[in-house]
């Protein structure tokens, strides 16, 4: 299996032709090749996104809401297929993929669809202008989205839809460990009606692709989910080498505690402690420390 980037309306190989082995972490099986994208690939994707920005931002809020609802429906319909892809990508048990990550992704799209519908209604009532023009005031341009491997559908799509919902074009960089679920998610979004030119997919090494995104002097916004250390580096590099006026939204690591009092059932507490501590190898913002 050879996975490609999606740039300017088509799946394409990386410009320099370099690839990385893609493997199943649960058994070490190498089952494909993924792009080892370069700064040149990022620059090409940015140009495509910048030129395509009006195509999505010119759609009405009502049209966007319908598209997002359709994506939510498609995710629910394809739950078994998506769970299998996620299990192969990052070794997550099928039960967890089906119970948490995939339903959450579907719920995210439905939430934004409902929010957009309400927003459109309020725009008509309070501003007295058509919803499309009102929304154009909210979009900022091209947004780079950098997501982690632990919730490779919910967080990946959550960042994208938050940016797309207000009319931005998106450069999406999934974790290099979870490219297959990202490809499937992008295909579902296109199937539902998201303009193909408004979403670019870049796969590759985090420090290379991510750094090229955040140091792009024309990027208008950055969404990141990951460690606090990396988020601080993104903030610094964006200000020093990229666009110091770019909006940065970062969701970083947390440390959770559990308080168990005398009314708790010890066997239930132990079960929950183990689950919270070791699911995703303890590498998630909700993990118990």
The CA-based dihedral angle spanning residues 73, 79, 81, 84, taken in that order and rounded to the nearest 10 degrees: 150
Q: What is the distance, to the nearest Å, from the Cα of residue 148 to the centroid of all Cα atoms in its chain?
A: 8
Output phi, psi for 103, to 5 deg. -60, -35
State the DSSP code for 117: H
The residue annotated as part of the active site, out of 29, 187, 251, 267, is 251
**Active-site residue flag, 285:** yes
CA distance 163 to 135: 12
**Active-site residue flag, 223:** no
The residue annotated as part of the active site, out of 86, 145, 223, 285, is 285
Rounded alpha-carbon distances, angstroms, from residue 157 to 121, 189, 199, 208, 211 = 25, 9, 11, 22, 21
For 61, residues 6+ apart whose C-beta sits below 8 A from its C-beta are 116, 117, 119, 120, 123, 131, 132, 134, 135
Residues labelled as active-site residues: 251, 285
């Amino acid at each position: 299996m050879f996975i490609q980037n999606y740039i300017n309306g088509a799946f394409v190989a990386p410009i320099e032709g370099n690839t990385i082995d893609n493997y199943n972490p649960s058994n070490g099986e190498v089952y494909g090749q993924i792009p080892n994208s370069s700064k040149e690939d990022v620059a090409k994707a940015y140009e495509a996104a910048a030129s395509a920005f009006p195509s999505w931002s010119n759609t009405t809020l009502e049209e966007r809401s319908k598209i997002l609802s359709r994506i939510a429906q498609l995710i629910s319909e394809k739950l078994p297929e998506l769970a299998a892809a996620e299990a192969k990508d990052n070794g997550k048990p099928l039960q967890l993929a089906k119970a948490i990550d995939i339903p959450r992704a579907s719920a995210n799209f439905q939430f934004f669809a409902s929010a957009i519908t309400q927003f459109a209604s309020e725009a008509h009532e309070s501003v007295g202008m058509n919803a499309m023009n009102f929304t154009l005031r909210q979009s900022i341009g091209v947004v780079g989205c950098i997501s982690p491997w632990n919730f490779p559908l919910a967080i990946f799509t959550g960042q994208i839809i938050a940016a797309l919902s207000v009319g931005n074009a998106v450069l999406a960089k999934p974790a290099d460990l979870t490219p297959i679920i990202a490809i499937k998610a992008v295909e579902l979004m296109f199937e539902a009606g998201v303009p193909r030119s408004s979403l670019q997919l870049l796969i590759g090494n985090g420090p290379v692709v991510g750094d090229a995104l955040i140091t792009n002097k024309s990027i208008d916004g950055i969404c990141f989910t990951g460690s606090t250390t990396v988020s601080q580096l993104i903030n610094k590099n964006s200000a020093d080498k990229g666009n110091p006026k770019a909006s940065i939204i970062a969701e970083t690591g947390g440390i959770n505690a559990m308080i168990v009092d005398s009314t708790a059932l010890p066997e239930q507490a132990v079960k929950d402690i183990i689950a919270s501590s070791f699911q995703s190898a303890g590498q998630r913002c909700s993990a118990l420390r």
